[in-house]
Amino acid sequence: MKKTITSKYDVAEHLRTPQEMAAYLEACIEEADGDAAFIAKALGDIARAKGMTEIARDSGLSRESLYKALSGDRVPTFDTVLRVMTALGLSIHVTAGQEN
């Protein structure tokens, strides 16, 4: 039987445009169910797609701290999230939720 060779899927390789990056983050936020580390990981995927060195420079954070903060293993501070989103050219928009 012939073996199938596979490689690890990396979503960062498929996030090419700002629109794709925004759609990916929006989908991750919807699926996160309050899991801030999951959203941080999504931001990390987008940052890697755009270039971690560029994001580090534009956010004023070190590459090492970005990799740690956006690994999905920890929850970054809101300040870090805002700085990364600004560096990525993304913004947060708030809408009113459904009343209970």
Amino acid at 73: D
* In-domain check, residue 6: no
Residue 100 belongs to a domain:
no
pLDDT tens, N- to C-terminus, the chain (100 residues): 889 998 899 999 999 999 999 999 999 999 999 899 999 999 999 999 999 999 999 999 999 999 999 999 999 999 999 999 999 999 988 888 877 6
Residue 49 counted as domain residue: yes
Residues 47 and 72 sit within 8 Å (Cβ to Cβ): no
Residue 96 covered by a domain:
no
First to last CA, the chain: 57
**C-alpha distances in angstroms, 30 versus 23, 35, 95?**
11, 10, 14
Q: How many domains does the chain have?
A: 1
Closest to 56 (Cα-Cα) out of 65, 11, 71: 65
User: What token pair was written down for 12?
Assistant: 């960062």
Q: What residue numbers bound the domain in which 69 lies?
A: 15-88
| Assigned domain for 67 exists | yes
